[in-house]
Chain A
């Protein structure tokens, strides 16, 4: 009997100690004036220069204001913090004047120095910032990022940046770049307060920006809350007191939450709700759709000698029935591509790809025969964790049926493994490439993807004529003229077909009944300053 009592004495505290952590907890719904929006855990510390992915940069856009801002409606560019951005006649030297009187959330003023120091920090190689490469056009970038591994740069500052007075600085570029001002609204170009340089680690825990909202609190992997910054000087004042970003792992769950009123905004509607237009019925006026700056392509590994013949590449492109696939897989919510840039981007010219992006079984077979056929299995490689399986299968079967060759969809387990193979140039078949423009210019779809040796040219495409065409466009006297010349460069891609354009993706967002307005940007982010609550929910 004594033994049993002892056992009980042991068992009870053991059980209690294990369960104790589970007790307590209460209802934790946010207060009525807090707007909750769908979000995902950011992949990097919350520093603008180190943030390029969608979740982190959505928060950065709320906390910071750049020199220019992209309109949430059509991504047109207008000055935000910049008073003026004046190019030299050759578009190599820019004089940037900022508006005085702006402050960071800790009360310190935003000066020319705040920009120059932030840009130097981001561009300095040893700091290892993800956004560093966006400064490669600036004079002095190469000195901060020596080629040989382990080398320590001799200087810590970009020689192309000079502070003239507290509200003026100049940027000297390596080569002319007419569209440079358009780039300046992108995250890595945001200014940083002195507090950051004193204590970067503390800053990551509590970012301080100059934007319409200030950081309130964050529970990692659960939520992040920002609140209105009353001293914000920009034209678009925030209209709601608080916004909570809520982490969801499943888009479908976020959608269910939106429909049943537990969430106010989603940036993306799951495919299950697109089918048959269910989301229009569910959300009514809360269903928001606009052209986006997102494209979906499949690329050829041009480092593989089986894919050297442009006729083969064109044959495969012409064997894909884009309209049918977009209708059947995406319920018509994708636009079949007719070129390499999204249709809504500044500088888009229709039908750049022409007949080579039009489904034409007869011509496709002819071109394949002319190219000498294709031996073996043609693989279509995509990451298995991103919802790409369905359309990849459909594209594979379209090519198989049209050309009569063996085509197979080959998934890689994760996105990171997919990217590793892309970086290591290990693909032995066609692979998926998707692109969201960083800034609203046709150039954002061309230079980084197709220029020889560019950062996202994973297919090793190289055509001196294309590079020369880009150079001509970069040095154009005006932005419309630059756009025209970029479009000429795009036309060259139609002859080479290094990448097959499939379709572009509109932005489909959802609003709850509580909201009077909230705008998803063409970059598929939420523009926080546009969020307005309906009056009956004060």
Chain B
């Protein structure tokens, strides 16, 4: 196990170098000149463009620029935006918010989704089952910005129960509704996945054996049935957490959450190459670590899976 994890961690190094280079090259391949739109409707003074180009090494070949950037990165310096703001500061401000939102969304989709899945999966056909099926279908069919906008206007503007936007450094309470919006789609999938998986395993041989040897129903379901049925759900939740950590452009926009998604989106639009590269590199690392976490969790859930 230890060697497996070590091997996986070592694999991060080539992936890290590869992604930073690809992202860096891609960002500069996007058409547009970062200083073309900086002075509003007028073209910037040539002296301004010359000074900025020299300061950010934009006149050098891509490969030289990249290694300069990488060297900077190894000293823990993410560089600065064209507005002179430290990118490290931007990430340090935005990332906690994104992580908090991701955790809230994951908890909501995990708890509600798994609970709904277990209830319907165990009981089978009936009113509750139809209700969950229809409501999940409804949630899946709605785009996130519709859910977000409707909830915001209804709960915020009409009823005044929530704030229509989330402040900087938000509390968990403030993030409940945005978290629900963000997690709603996955919540529906989790409910359906759990339900199907349970239904399938309910008739498995090992469940019959467990019941036949006189185990209590709680133990049959809790230890034998659920543990086996939750493997696909954990896979889904794990990759989903990785995706949520990458920020949520739409939800962040609707609730004005100052997270990583909006930051990277705006950086792409304004050709802030260094910001994009810095954030995306970080996101790739987080995603890889999340995958590792999921793989390790498999071994916890299923003793048949071994990594040595």
On A, residues with C-beta under 8 Å from B are 3-4, 6-8, 10-11, 14-15, 18-19, 21-29, 41-45, 52-53, 125-130, 132-133, 145, 149-150, 204, 219-223, 247-250, 253-254, 256-257, 259-260, 262-263, 385, 413-420, 422-423, 433-436, 448, 455-456, 458
Q: Which of B50, B168, B300 contacts A4 (CB 8 A)?
A: B300
Contact B269 A385 (CB under 8 A): yes
Q: Which residue of A lies closest to B263 (CB)?
A: A221
Q: Which of B95, B100, B163 contacts A260 (CB 8 A)?
A: B163
Q: Which of B1, B46, B163, B167 contacts A10 (CB 8 A)?
A: B1
Q: Which residues of A contact B174 (CB under 8 A)?
A: 27
Bound CA–CA A82/B286 (angstroms): 57
Q: Which residue of A lies closest to B242 (CB)?
A: A18
If A25-B172, A128-B51, A249-B262 touch, does A260 touch B37 (CB 8 Å cutoff)?
Answer: no
Bound CA–CA A385/B168 (angstroms): 25
Contact A10 B41 (CB under 8 A): no
Contact A19 B37 (CB under 8 A): no
Q: Which residues of B contact A24 (CB under 8 A)?
A: 96
Contact A25 B170 (CB under 8 A): yes
Q: Which residue of A lies closest to B97 (CB)?
A: A25
Contact B297 A11 (CB under 8 A): yes
Total count of chain B residues near the partner, CB < 8 A: 82
Contact B254 A250 (CB under 8 A): yes
Q: How far is the CB of B143 from chain A (nearest CB, A)?
A: 16
Bound CA–CA A169/B166 (angstroms): 50
Bound CA–CA A65/B163 (angstroms): 36
If A7-B299, A416-B270 touch, does A259 touch B157 (CB 8 Å cutoff)?
Answer: yes
Please give 18 more A-B residue pairs, beta carbons under 8 A apart, in addition to A220-B93, A419-B33: A4-B299, A11-B296, A14-B293, A18-B289, A28-B170, A41-B83, A52-B39, A221-B94, A222-B168, A222-B258, A250-B253, A256-B152, A256-B164, A257-B256, A259-B164, A260-B156, A416-B34, A419-B43
Q: How far is the CB of A254 from chain B (nearest CB, A)?
A: 7
Q: How far is the CB of B92 from chain A (nearest CB, A)?
A: 9
Bound CA–CA A3/B164 (angstroms): 48
Bound CA–CA A14/B169 (angstroms): 24
Contact A45 B51 (CB under 8 A): no
> 0/1 per residue, B68-97, Cβ < 8 Å to A?
000000000000001111100110011111
Bound CA–CA A423/B153 (angstroms): 42
Contact B171 A126 (CB under 8 A): no
The 26 sampled A-B contact pairs (Cβ below 8 Å) are A18-B293, A21-B95, A22-B103, A24-B96, A25-B169, A25-B171, A43-B270, A44-B82, A44-B84, A45-B84, A127-B51, A133-B45, A219-B168, A221-B85, A221-B93, A222-B258, A249-B253, A249-B256, A253-B164, A253-B165, A256-B165, A260-B156, A414-B270, A416-B37, A419-B33, A420-B36
Interface Cβ pair total, 8 Å cutoff: 223
Q: Which residues of A contact B168 (CB under 8 A)?
A: 28, 219, 222-223
Q: Which residues of B contact A44 (CB under 8 A)?
A: 38, 82-84
Q: Which residue of B lies closest to A5 (CB)?
A: B300
If A219-B93, A222-B258, A416-B270 touch, does A22 touch B99 (CB 8 Å cutoff)?
Answer: yes
On B, residues with C-beta under 8 Å from A are 1-2, 5, 31-34, 36-52, 55, 82-86, 89-90, 93-97, 99-100, 102-103, 152-153, 156-157, 160, 163-165, 167-174, 245, 252-256, 258, 262-263, 266, 269-271, 286, 289-290, 292-293, 296-297, 299-300, 303, 306, 308
If A25-B171, A132-B48 touch, does A455 touch B43 (CB 8 Å cutoff)?
Answer: yes
Bound CA–CA A24/B97 (angstroms): 10
Contact A28 B169 (CB under 8 A): yes
Q: Which residues of B contact A436 (CB under 8 A)?
A: 40
Bound CA–CA A25/B153 (angstroms): 25
Bound CA–CA A132/B152 (angstroms): 45
Contact A22 B100 (CB under 8 A): yes
Contact B299 A132 (CB under 8 A): no
If A221-B263, A262-B165 touch, does A19 touch B99 (CB 8 Å cutoff)?
Answer: yes
Q: Which residues of A contact B51 (CB under 8 A)?
A: 126-128
Q: Which residues of A contact B308 (CB under 8 A)?
A: 3
If A127-B51, A130-B48, A221-B93 touch, does A414 touch B37 (CB 8 Å cutoff)?
Answer: yes
Contact B266 A4 (CB under 8 A): no
Q: Which residue of A lies closest to B153 (CB)?
A: A256
Bound CA–CA A22/B169 (angstroms): 10
Q: Which residues of B contact A3 (CB under 8 A)?
A: 1, 299, 306, 308
Q: Which residues of A contact B100 (CB under 8 A)?
A: 22-23, 25
Q: Which residues of B contact A260 (CB under 8 A)?
A: 156-157, 160, 163-164
Q: Which residue of A lies closest to B286 (CB)?
A: A18
If A204-B84, A222-B93 touch, does A18 touch B297 (CB 8 Å cutoff)?
Answer: no
If A28-B168, A256-B164 touch, does A11 touch B293 (CB 8 Å cutoff)?
Answer: yes
Bound CA–CA A215/B152 (angstroms): 33
Contact B164 A221 (CB under 8 A): no
Contact A417 B32 (CB under 8 A): yes
Among the interface residues B1, B164, B306, which one has the most CB atoms of the partner chain A within 10 A?
Answer: B164
Bound CA–CA A260/B255 (angstroms): 13
If A21-B96, A28-B168, A417-B36 touch, does A456 touch B42 (CB 8 Å cutoff)?
Answer: yes
Q: Which residues of A contact B45 (CB under 8 A)?
A: 125, 128-130, 132-133, 145, 455
Bound CA–CA A281/B147 (angstroms): 25
Among the interface residues B31, B163, B165, B253, which one has the most CB atoms of the partner chain A within 10 A?
Answer: B165
Q: Which residues of A contact B170 (CB under 8 A)?
A: 25, 28
Q: Which residue of A lies closest to B80 (CB)?
A: A45
